[in-house]
Structure 1
Amino acid sequence: MPFVIYVLGLAVFAQGTSEFMLSGLVPDIAAELNASVPAAGALTSAFAVGMSVGAPLMAVLSLRWPRRRALLVFLLAFLIVHVVGAVSTSFAVLVTTRVLGALANAGFLAVGLATATSMVEPNAKGRATSVLLSGITLACVAGVPAGAVLGQAFGWRSAFWAVAVVSAPAAYAILRSVPNTVPASGTTAAPGARREARVLRRPRLLVLLLCGALVNAGTFCTFIYLAPLVTEVSGLTQAWVPAALALFGLGSFAGVTVGGRLADSRPLRLLIPGGIVLLAGWLLGTVAAGSAMVALPLVFVQGALSFAVGSTLIAQVLYAATEAPSLGGAFATAALNVGAAVGPALGGLAIGAGFGFRSPLGVSAVLVAAAFVAAGAAEVVRRIRSTPADEVLISR
């Protein structure tokens, strides 16, 4: 695996830390900037929405740019808005920096996926994808807890400074390591965008994107409410929350690593049994989360399965979108973040409706089941229409 792909993973680590670190900083931000706690909590939602909308927009904007320039522009913009956020005394300015940071993050991840998969053998897209996505899982394991510790010790602004500092060496390494080549998608942005957009209208790609969004929605539906699940349902003390978060992060890292090794050669052997066990795990949680002896191992297992299945689906998107490398990566990024935004919203609705803190587990199960239904329906339609073999949902 080329060293530069690990550099891209470092940048994704910084960006993943930024996306999720506010979970431990919201009360301090609200108090210092005279905002309500719900308003400060909406900073995370603003980031997810910016990622979802920004991925395709930023990919189209940068379609004519050499990939090194695009990666540097997006990463430096991300760094700068975090510096602005760190010194801001206005809540409105902080919200603006979160949206702009999300747009830069979305553009970077979309171009980064296209860059990473173009630098490896055609049958190694899954491993390249897993390296980038491992940056997000490592952010859950180390970046987010470290941000919380920094916030408690030195104030919430120190976490923003830390993200900027980690981004700087990644920018330098990209400058030195990424070839300054122009993507082979056309000489002008509009025709290239139109060509790639036509590829993305294929039913197979749309179903893969839908399944990826549904699985990720199930993941974050429960992950966001892991703290009250551990304390209110499993009956553990608040001191166990960081351990549970670390277990989920370690599981997700293990899952994305294993998924990367199987996504290229044996995706069906991972997706079908892995998806079934993932669904069963969410269902088990709805009835057994009251036992800490069940809940804690389940946190690790579900983190591993969620990211193994999710990263494999994204790799399949990239395989199916070889004729649309820039927009394929962009829409994969958007699908992940649509899931990250929709899942917690649905979990919150279930809790608000009075179903309790274990209800997000049931919602997660429904979302994964919906992914199976979507994939099954697509396969039935394909067989009825006698689509050629190369149009099957999973290419290997």
Structure 2
Amino acid sequence: MIASGTVHAEIGDNDVDSKVASGRKLDGFFTKRPTAVPTTLSPSSSPSESPTGTPTTSPTVSPTVSPTNAPTTSPSASPTVSTPSPSSSPTAPTTEAPTMCKESYLTSESLNIALVIDLSWSTYEKLFSSDTVIGDINGDQKANTILDAQNVAIQDLLMNIAASEYLDNDNCEVDLISFHTEATDHGVWMPLNAAGTGPNQYLVDYIRDELWAPTSIDEVIRTNNGYTNFDDALDKTVAYFQKNATAGRNNLMVFLSDGEPNVRGDGDGEGYCSETTEFWNCDDEQDNCGTLNCSDLNVAAGDAHEFCLANDSTCVMDEAYQDCVRGPNSCLNADAATQYSSEIAALDELKVERLAIGVGDESNVEQGSALWMIDNNPAKDLGVLPVQALGLEELSDALSNLCILTTDPPTGSPSDSPSESPSESPTESPSAAPTGSPT
């Protein structure tokens, strides 16, 4: 920026004329000086205005010696809006700091991964996201399901293991566990192909072709499959790390679910999902109508129940006490379905890190939820929740990067204490005094 200044010049100054001609604006005023004697030019035949007898020696009106209004010694007006006094604490509660990926389990020097996948009915029945076309990845004749999204994210995880500078088939393995009404361990797999350049295609094909959820409500009725048993999934995970995991490695469980548990567990003093139940398909001749007491089953607290398990063809149609141990009517998020103290204690003893991921908008990762209980992110006590993936990219990022989330804890007060007075006091007089005489 070029600073402007006052230019004092006379008409006829060649330098000024050239500047005016060039279009440059001059911050100045120009007045011809009066001559001491008349000019040599002949006067006009009649003056347009009667000349004065002699030139005036001073302006017609005397200039004032001082400005019309003397400057005040303080600002002329107070601010129209009063300034509140500074507070000693924030006026609004602090917000939680955003989460960030502090580091990844993929940088471990070795890693045993228990990959725990939800195969409940909703993973087929529910579309994952309307924003992204996923396709029918697993060939179950329905596209864009939660299962399709999980298949894509698992392949991305295997590709990231292949790209890792730290992990390969020599120091990494994947134990594949699925769950619905019960959980199944599908064995330990190498994550990569023989060359170590990409995913183990046998594992990819197995997940795609074998890990299906029920594809109709009729199948749920015929098999009693498709419910959501977190407890048994944790039991199978503990068994893998106790018996089959390669010793001397870092251990990680990755737990995926699109919903909330609705099957009674065992091992932690679990009772029934409710005290009473009513059978939807009752028969007076069978004496199973009306209110039934779940205690009639005589299953001891914490013991596993032995009926209405997976692949039970008689449960839905014939078992009057089915809702005492499974199903959304009584067991959804019931105490009997969310007691994991023994499993979590065992995983802690085995030094297994736990990463829970909610898949879709019907998953629950809020504090106190089942997924929140399972997860053991180191920043959990700072309010960091498990990831709830609502889109394919988010799910792929959460699973394939295996991030350890963290956050800076929010401060209880501002980082800098407010000053007791404004940083700059107002001046007692205007910043620029008026000139003593007019220009």
TM-score by length of 1: 0.26
Larger Rg, first or second structure (1 or 2): 2
Q: Which has the higher helix share?
A: 1
TM-score by length of 2: 0.24
Q: Which has the higher strand share?
A: 2
